[in-house]
Amino acid sequence: MKRTIAVTGAIGLAVFMGACGTTDDTTEETTTVETTTTEMTTETTTGEEMTEEAAATGDIVDTAVAAGDFTTLTDALEAAGLVETLKGPGPFTVFAPTDDAFAALPEGQLDELLADPEGDLAQILQFHVIEGEVMAEDVMGMDGETVQTLQGAEFTVEVEGEEVMLVDGADNRITVIQTDVPATNGVIHAIDGVMMPPA
């Protein structure tokens, strides 16, 4: 099986660099600590900091529901009969389309998919899942490599600077917008589009 990968968001390196400075003035030291804390709070939504700061409290499905940005995805998983699978021991890595990603589908396409949930919808949803827990830090050296999905087909990873895109079976380039959302049975990476398996 081909090596699986994940995607990365920007890591708040400046936070840690800022924390390295020292001074003899007590007031200035206090200010530096407070500023660093504020920056870390702001930047813990993506990358390694989220992994370090946030502990997993639920499985993939529960975590997606709690996030609030994956309502359409969780509804689709339920319709397709995949909730039990993603509540299993895994671990799984899910590249999760946001509600905005589903809303951007051509008019009527989501309704058509939901009308036959165990057909094309189930195939599309499984195309967003890979076996194993694959964190963001693994991706930067994976430019051009392919990832085998639970559906059986593969997508390709493209890395341009700090931006990561997933190229699906229809040659659509989907951007990763949030990474390393922890779950007890894997990890979620949010994407801004819905990937399609090869025809």
Confidence band (pLDDT; 50, 70, 90) for 185?
A: very high
Averaged pLDDT for residues 31-47: 33
Most distant CA pair in the chain, distance: 68
- Region 83-103: what's the mean pLDDT? 95
| Secondary structure (3-state) at 112 | helix
- Cα separation, 83 vs 60, in Å, equals 9
Residue 94 phi, psi (nearest 5): -115, 125
Superfamily covering domain 13-191: FAS1 domain (2.30.180.10)
In tens, the pLDDT along 8-17 reads 333 332 333 3
Q: How confident is the model at residue 57 (pLDDT cuts 50, 70, 90)?
A: confident
Beta bridge partners of 190: 96, 178
18 in Cβ contact with 170 (< 8 Å):
no
Query: Token match 């922890």: residue?
Result: 182
Reduce the secondary structure of 36-83 to three states and give it as a string: HHHHHHHHCCCHHHHHHHCCCCCCHHHHHHHHCCCHHHHHHHHHCCCH
Q: 43 pLDDT exceeds 50? A: no
pTM (predicted TM-score): 0.73
Top pLDDT among 58 and 6 is at 58
Q: What are the boundaries of each domain within the chain?
A: 13-191
Decide: 118 and 80 in contact? Cβ < 8 Å: yes
Distance separating alpha carbons of residues 199 and 188, to the nearest angstrom: 25
Q: Report whether pLDDT(32) > 50.
A: no
> pLDDT tier at 2 (50, 70, 90 boundaries)?
very low
